[in-house]
Amino acid sequence: MLRPTKHMNLDISVLRISSCVIDILKKHKMIRHDELLEEVIQSIGSDARIIFVPSISFLYIIGLIDYDLKTDSFVYTKEDNNEIK
């Protein structure tokens, strides 16, 4: 469950990193894994590296991103924010 505790740093939470990833993917529509990680680290800081994979997993599970194995890239799958199920 995504429930914060009093010791949790909300600046590097799954929801914060996921929000950053979505913002980046809205700009690029498709971006390589390593480039996305670098942009997230530049935006939030080096601590984001720890939460990056769980954030990507979260976005994939809820259907907002897809992974292209051939190009090692992530693709933003929702064109309109109102389509979220």
Please write the tens of the pLDDT for every residue from 19-77.
999 999 999 989 999 999 999 999 999 989 999 999 999 999 999 999 999 999 999 99
β-pair partners for 68: 73
Rounded mean pLDDT of 14-19? Answer: 93
Reported pTM: 0.80
Contact (Cβ atoms closer than 8 angstroms) between residue 44 and residue 10? no
DSSP 8-state assignment for residue 80: S
pLDDT band at 78 (very low <50, low <70, confident <90, very high): confident
Q: Is residue 6 part of a domain?
A: no
CATH code for position 50: 1.10.10.10
Q: Is residue 1 part of a domain?
A: no
Total domain count, the chain: 1
Domain that holds residue 47: 11-80
